[in-house]
Amino acid sequence: AQSVTQLGSHVSVSEGALVLLRCNYSSSVPPYLFWYVQYPNQGLQLLLKYTSAATLVKGINGFEAEFKKSETSFHLTKPSAHMSDAAEYFCAVSVGNFGNEKLTFGTGTRLTIIP
Amino acid sequence: NAGVMQNPRHLVRRRGQEARLRCSPMKGHSHVYWYRQLPEEGLKFMVYLQKENIIDESGMPKERFSAEFPKEGPSILRIQQVVRGDSAAYFCASSPQGAGANVLTFGAGSRLTVL
C-alpha cells in the first residue's frame, strides 16, 4: 500500500520569496506522483505529475517538483511566490497500473502569501 | 467542452435524511471516481465505477453509502440516514477508459452539511 506525508500543514512565505512544499511518499512499487492545487470552494487542479520519465517535472504557474528516489521525496517549489499562489496544495501517489487508478492524498499544505 | 459537473454544489440535510450527489463526467470519459474530503483532511478514495459496473468500492463505508453509474445519466452517490460525521466535501473525478490516474479530472465538489 502507498502513502503520502506532507510536512507542514501551513506554510507562509513573502511575495517574491521561494516556495517549498514538502512531500514524502511510501510505495512498494515505482509510483506515479502528483501535486494538485485547490482554491477556496473549488475542485482540485493538477499542477504537475511524475510518471517515471524525467525526474524534474515542470508544471503550470511556474511550479516544479523533483522526484528523488533515494529520499522518497517529491517536493514542490516555485522560485518567486505570487499572491495568486495562495491556496491548498495536495501531494498524491498512485501505483499507476491499469485498473488501479486510486490516488492516495496527503493531508494538504495551506500556502499563505505575505504581501 | 464542459469539465466534470457536480450538483448540487451545496446540500444541507438533517440527521436521518437522504443525500444524493450527482456527477456528470467529462465528455468521452467512461470512468468515474468519488472521493471524500473531511474538514482539515486530504481526499480519501471511496469508489471507482464504469458504466453499470462498480470496479472498486474498497473506500466506501459498509453501511448507508452506495454509488451507481447507469448506462444513461450521471453517476450518483447516495447516503442514507445521514449523520453529522457525513458532513464533508465529496469530489467526483473522471478519466478516459484505461487511462489511469494520471489523467484524472476533478469536479468542483459537492459540500454536504448535516445539521
> CB contact, 8 Å: B48 with chain A?
yes
Rounded Cα distance between B62 and B14, Å, is 21
Q: Which residues of B touch A34 (CB under 8 A)?
A: 101-102
Map B25-69 to HEC letters: CCCCCCEEEEEEECCCCCEEEEEEEECCEEEECCCCCCCCEEEEC
Query: DSSP strand E in chain A: where?
Result: 3-7, 10-14, 19-26, 32-38, 44-50, 56-58, 64-68, 73-78, 87-94, 104-105, 109-114
Rounded Cα distance between A19 and A16, Å, is 9
Write the pLDDT tens digit of every residue in A106-115: 999 999 999 9
Of A44, A98, A102, the CB nearest to B45: A102
Question: What pLDDT is stored for residue B100 in this prediction?
Answer: 59
Rounded Cα distance between B105 and B4, Å, is 7
pLDDT higher for A79 or B105?
A79
Average pLDDT over chain B reads 91
Q: Which residues of A touch B21 (CB under 8 A)?
A: none
Q: Which residues of B touch A90 (CB under 8 A)?
A: 42-43
Under-70 pLDDT residues of chain B: 1-2, 98-102
Considering A27-36, A71-80, B25-34, the range whose residues carry the highest mean pLDDT is A71-80
Question: What pLDDT is stored for residue B99 in this prediction?
Answer: 60
Burial of A62 (0-12, 13-18, 19+ CB in 10 A): middle
* pLDDT of A60 over the 90 cut: yes
Angle at alpha carbon of residue B2, lines to B24 and B108, rounded to 5°: 65
Write the pLDDT tens digit of every residue in A8-26: 999 999 999 999 999 999 9
Per-residue pLDDT band for A100 (boundaries 50, 70, 90) equals low
Q: Which of residues 36-65 of A touch B (CB under 8 A)?
A: 36, 41-46, 49, 51
Rounded Cα distance between B67 and A94, Å, is 22
Q: Is the peptide bond before B8 cis (omega within 30 degrees of 0)?
A: yes
* pLDDT of A99 over the 50 cut: no
